[in-house]
Amino acid sequence: MSESFSDDKIFLLESFARHLPPAGIEREQYLDKLAHLLAQVIPNTDPRLKDLALTLIRITLFSLQEGFMLGGFQGISGSRYFSRSLPLDAQVALEKRLTVLARLPAARKEILSWALKALNGELATLLGQGLNLWGHLVVAAFDWMLGLSRRDQNPQYEFGLTLLHLLAKEEGKLWPEELDALIALSTQWVRDLPSFPEYEIRDLFRCLHKVRLSPEQGELLASLLQEWEDTDRYPSERSFATLAEYKRAMRHLGRIEGRGKFFIAVASVLIAILGHFRPSIPPIHTPKIHHDIRYGTLAIGWAMLTKSDARYLPDLLRVLRSLAEINHAEFRLVLEEIFPVFWEQPTGLKPLVELLVEEGFQRFDDFWESRIEALRPSFSRQALQIWLEQVRHKPQAHWLRQVLEGVYTLKVNAAEWLAKQVACEENPQVMELVLKITQRLANRDHNLIVQLESALWERMRLSIERGEMLSSEWARWLAGARLEFLRRGLDLLCQYAEEDEPDDIRSYAYALLSALAREVNRLERTEPLRLAVCWLVDPADGLRSNLPLPKCLQLVGDMMQQTHVDEKVIGWLRRAIVRTPNVEDLVQTLHAGGYYVVNEKGIERLNAIIQAPDAEKFAQVLRVAGCPEWRLVKAHPRLVSVFFKPLDTEGDLRAGAHRRIALARALKYVSNPELFFPLLRDLFELAVDLASAWSVDGDAPGAFPEFSREADELAKELLQAVASLPVTPPVVNLLREMVLAPSRIPQQGLSRTFSPDFIWSTILPLMVRREVDAEAIPPMLAILQEPLPPTGERHQLVQQCILQWLSNVSILDATQQEIIWQSGYTSPDILTRSLALLVLGRQRPLSTRTWQTVLGLLNTSWIVHYIRRTLEIARMRDFFLEPNDVFLLLGTAVALSAEWAREKEALSAEQFQALHRAWRRASSDVHRLIEGLLSQPGILSIRVNYARGLARNLCDAVGKSPYDDPDWLTRPADLARSLLQRFSLTKGDGYERSGIPSTDRRPAPLL
């Protein structure tokens, strides 16, 4: 690069900086761009460039620091692997900019120096001034006013850790001077603080967990860890020779804990006056616990080192072993945290397995399993080979399989190796694992499993051809695999199931087909066609098709040619819930129960009853025989076929229940609602009958828990299916009936199943973007107008569902909008009100009242909203409501306005400008501060599920993902800030329309 061209680039960068907007979100956005451009000119050492970079990094660091100080920005201390809930947009943007700038050496140095000062509580010294005293006062005032307890986290410390984390993340390595500085910091802490800084050092290690250290860096750190292992030399509590030394240590501690100068000064005076000098800190824990904590800290440190270099494995294992011997609980906690080491450095697995065998550890409980899954296990080829080897040799170490089953991803060469391994693998446990891994990865990345699937298919094909027995895991894999595999598999089995085949071959095929029919019911996700196909090929003819198996196989072959489901397929599916009891089954069951000796005459009578159902007569027969189900039969004659089914092999449901539940689950994925609607209704009636039969079972209420279990499962799946359908009048009525069902079932049956939380978290999100038939609107409005009974919680849930559906239409006339206004927006329930606002805001043309309402919400101070809501709650005397739920309404208003801004036709230029001004007001620092305070964990947190449906509905407009934690909707000021950024460049007040800054704006220089 020529020098003159370099000069030209610097000239252009300076020109860019000169043309920055004076303030606001646009300025932030341009600063982001400038950071990107600066980062492109990396090799340049021109001092002008350095000045520009330093100025930009300091602006950014200061803004980030302010965010931490004034509340709202999320810290990372103590969190393993730094999983955070969604941080504020403002924080994300600043951290991103810092990451970009961290590529510049000067900027990186600056970040490190801020981080070190912040971790030592000396940021004020660096900045040469107190840290936003006014900000602190405002925070304190709010704390006092809202009765909030002070937050646990020290913002300065969190800021420092965040900076270190960003530095480590950016390049995945630390520069030598950076590690030196960190070692110096931790040495200083160990030397100066009154007690050994176990948790602070753990935080440092955690910050660096993704860093790969050079061998020299590793040695440096290793020697430090070895030193600290000497608890005599480095005891948990220090002794002090003099008072001055003690005061100095306490002052340092105070700074790190963010106590402030005033606090420290007062404490020092008190110590001096009272002569309260202690030569050592009073022990909080017993020496043994101190020892455990030290070993825990060291294990985390060695684990961090081991990730970079396997030669530290023995040290890690030694420390772990010591820890396991002295404190099993701490050992398990630490182990959970450092587990990734053993798939990144798998050579250490064997000794770990042995250690855990010695400890008698065999399997994770459910809680641990999910924690391990959260670590996203990823295996290289070598790691996979070693882990599978251990599975073969240590079958009792079930935890190995649990980790492998929770695999998040495989390295591509590992997947390739596994595909080759499939052909020759003899160990059934390993094969089972491979099938489970394939199923798991199939939902995530097809690239990794294409070869694996083909290999499995080939192995299965050969096994079938050789007549080798295949476990039910194989059947489950085939049942859930791509339809083409199932199609080919059935084609293959079709040949073996022919009448003229030898018995052993036929029985082999039959066994596999039976397993297929059973396993398809256990799949998490399945389509109706797949169910019909797998059920039809069941040699036990569970659907009672009365067709020979070869004929069934031929039939399913035709069905699979066309992927769409027609009346014929529905007909087969309907048989899963057939109500007519089969006399043979009935007789067998009665025999098995020993209640009734059925002779020919008895069978004739039963046959007659079943042909012309007469519940009274039937019940009478059973009563005479002493069969306890006689009461159920009398009360719920439609359930006869279920009552007399035996329990399934697992003993928790009646035979056939899994099939019915699978069908209900599959109805969520139908594409033709008209066809499936009757099926859905029938299944729901069955669920209600089962719930009722369980609730009032004559003399022994709740005697058949399997009915309740089935009813719950069915009801859950069916309500989800209804919520997923296009909205027509029958669908509206069915939904109403379902949500209100608990009020007509004895003992409030199904009320826990259809709990408000379930409706908010699961049902409302499913109703987003459903097609709504115009004919369904009047019945929906009629439901909204129904008076709420005194205990109208379930009716309110129905209303919320209706409003969520109505948010999918934009054609409501003025009268209809008035109904929404009256029945929804005036509701004291904030979710109902927010949904009503959403419905009104979706109508076109936009009514003046809706426009003014939204604008009014945005232009009014958050404090006023909060106080109004507090008063409203006080008037209602509802002690469960929390006034900060008003942020949900405000968030809805902001996100709704984003939708308007996206639509060119929705707003005039003047309206857009007014909206822009409202966003500016809404995103003020004070508003962001209030949100930050109220969103602190544990402080008046808004129920997350409450916002889920609305968040799903509005996420597109504000650029959020449907997978994001819906918290963002309860942060209206932060949301408004992001909208200013999003919409400022494309549409707006003269500045944005052309994309060229208008001349009346004075450009503000950066420097």
Partner 1 sequence: MMADFLLNLLASFAYDLLKALPSRFQGQQEDLLRDLRTELARQTQALEALNAVLARLGVERVVRIEGSVSNSIIITGDGNAVTVADGGNLARQWEALQLDDAQARERYYQEIAAIYEKLTFPLYGLDFSTALEEVYLYPSFHRLRRGLRISATWREGDPVPSVDELLQNPRPVAVLGMLGDGKTTTLQYLTWLYARRPSDRLHWRLGELVPFLLTASDLAEHWQDETDLVTACSRAASQFYHHPLLNPYLVERVLRTALEQGVALILVDALDEYQPAKAQERQKKFVIALSQRWQSDPLRQNSLLLSSRYALQEIGETGAEVLAYHLGKVLLRQQETDAERIDQMLEDLMHLVTAPKMRSFLTPFYVTLLTVSICREPDFATGLARAGDIKQWAGLYRFFLRQTFRWEQDKSGSAVEEKAALLALAHVAWQTFAPKTPELSLDLPLPFSERDREEALTFWKRTGLIWRNEITGTWTFAHAGFKTFGVALWLKEAVQRGRLAEVERLQTATMALEEWDMIWTLYYGL
The site for partner 1 (CB under 8 A) is made up of 1-2, 4-5, 8-9, 11-13, 15-16, 19, 30, 33, 36-42, 103, 169-172, 210, 409, 411-413, 442-448, 450, 453-454, 457-458, 482-485, 488, 525, 563-564, 668-671, 724, 765-766, 952, 956, 959, 961-963, 985, 992, 995-997
Half-sphere exposure of 743 (CA within 13 A, CB side): 13
Whether cis (ω within 30° of 0) applies to the bond prior to 194 is no
φ and ψ at residue 573, rounded to 5 degrees: -65, -35
Please state whether the peptide bond connecting residue 21 to the residue before it is cis, i.e. omega within 30 degrees of 0.
no
In a 3-state reduction of DSSP, which class is residue 965?
Answer: coil
Contact 342, 352 (CB under 8 A): yes
Q: Give the residue with the Cβ less far from partner 1, 746 or 1005.
A: 1005
Say how far apart CA 10 and CA 48 lie, in whole Å.
Answer: 8
Q: Minimum CB separation from partner 1 for residue 211, in Å?
A: 9
Rounded least distance, CB 120 to partner 1, Å? 27
| Closer residue to partner 1 in complex, CB, 377/581 | 377
For partner 1, the closer CB: 465 or 793: 465
Based on CB atoms, which residue is closest to partner 1, 42 or 184? 42
CA 917, 921, 925: angle at the middle one, nearest 5? 140
Rounded to the nearest whole angstrom, what is the least distance from the CB of residue 485 to partner 1 in the complex? Answer: 6
Which tokens in the block code for residue 352?
Answer: 């770990």
Beta carbon nearer to partner 1, 439 or 641: 439
Tell me the C-alpha distance between 262 and 218, whole Å.
Answer: 41
Pick 541 or 956: Cβ nearer partner 1: 956
Which pair of structure tokens corresponds to residue 207? Answer: 């910050």
Rounded to a whole number of angstroms, the minimum distance from the CB of residue 435 to partner 1 is 16
With beta carbons less than 8 A apart as the criterion, state whether 955 and 967 touch: no
Q: Which of 531-536's residues contact partners 24+ apart within 8 Å by CB, and which partners?
A: 531/573, 531/576, 531/662, 531/663, 531/666, 532/556, 532/559, 532/565, 532/569, 532/572, 532/573, 533/486, 533/490, 533/559, 533/560, 534/479, 534/486, 535/572, 535/573, 535/576, 535/659, 536/572
Q: Work out how close the CB of 1004 gets to partner 1 at its nearest, in angstroms, rounded to a whole number.
A: 14
- Which residue, 453 or 697, is less far from partner 1 as judged by CB? 453
The tokens for 766 are: 């499913």
User: In the complex, what is the shortest distance from the CB of residue 210 to partner 1, in angstroms, rounded to a whole number?
Assistant: 7
Q: Which is nearer to partner 1, 509 or 667 (CB)?
A: 667
Query: Which of 430, 326, 418 has the alpha carbon at shortest distance from 381?
Result: 418
Least Cβ distance, residue 502 to partner 1 (angstroms): 28
Asked whether the beta carbons of 17 and 1006 are under 8 A apart, the reply is yes
Residue 377 or 765 having the CB closest to partner 1 = 765
Q: How far is the CB of 488 from partner 1 (least distance, A)?
A: 6
In what helix (H) or strand (E) does residue 404 lie, and over which residues does it extend? helix 398-405
Query: How far from the centroid of its chain's Cα atoms is residue 654's Cα?
Result: 33
- Identity (one letter) of the amino acid at 273? I
What is the amino acid identity at position 567? Answer: E
Residue closer to partner 1, measured from CB, 530 or 865: 530
Q: How far is the CB of 753 from partner 1 (least distance, A)?
A: 20
| Separation between Cα atoms, residue 404 and residue 419, nearest integer Å | 16
**Residue with Cβ nearer partner 1 (26 or 110):** 26
Residue 226's contacts (CB-CB under 8 Å, 6 or more residues apart) are 315
CB of residue 993 to partner 1, shortest distance in Å: 10
**Distance from C-alpha of 595 to C-alpha of 593, rounded to nearest angstrom:** 5
Shortest Cβ distance from residue 454 to partner 1 (Å)?
A: 6
CA distances from 791 to 619, 734, 801 (A): 38, 21, 18
Estimate to the nearest angstrom the gap between the alpha carbon of 5 and the chain centroid: 50
Q: Whole-number minimum distance, CB 670 to partner 1, in Å?
A: 7
Question: Whose Cβ is closer to partner 1: residue 209's or residue 636's?
Answer: 209
User: DSSP assignment, residue 378?
Assistant: E
Q: What is the DSSP letter of 523?
A: -
CB of 11 to partner 1, least distance (A): 7
Q: Minimum Å distance from CB 708 to partner 1?
A: 27
Pick between residue 42 and residue 270 the one whose CB is nearest to partner 1. 42
| Helix orientation angle between 567-574 and 673-695, rounded to the nearest 10 degrees | 10
C-beta of 232: minimal distance to partner 1 in Å? Answer: 40
Work out how close the CB of 307 gets to partner 1 at its nearest, in angstroms, rounded to a whole number.
14
Asked whether the CA dihedral 618, 622, 623, 629 is positive or negative, the reply is negative
Identify which of residues 36 and 363 has a Cβ nearer to partner 1 in the complex: 36
Tokens of 299: 């294990």
CA distance 580 to 596: 20
Q: For residues 894 and 615, give the distance between their C-alpha atoms in angstroms, rounded to a whole number.
A: 59
H-helix or E-strand spanning residue 873: helix 862-876
**Contact yes or no for 222/278 (Cβ under 8 A):** no
CB nearer to partner 1: give 9 or 634: 9
Residue whose CB is less far from partner 1, 636 or 842: 842
Polymer length of the chain: 1007
Torsions phi, psi for 182 (to 5 deg):
-70, -40
Alpha carbon of 294 to those of 118, 199, 222, 330: distances in Å? 25, 10, 15, 11
- Least Å distance, CB 821 to partner 1, is 29
Place of tokens 């919409």: 983
Query: In terms of CB distance, is 728 or 827 closer to partner 1?
Result: 728
Shortest distance in whole angstroms from residue 902 CB to partner 1:
9
Q: Compute CA 971 distance to the chain's CA centroid, rounded to the nearest angstrom.
A: 19
Is 10 or 355 the residue whose CB approaches partner 1 more closely? 10
Q: Which helix (H) or strand (E) holds 410?
A: strand 409-410
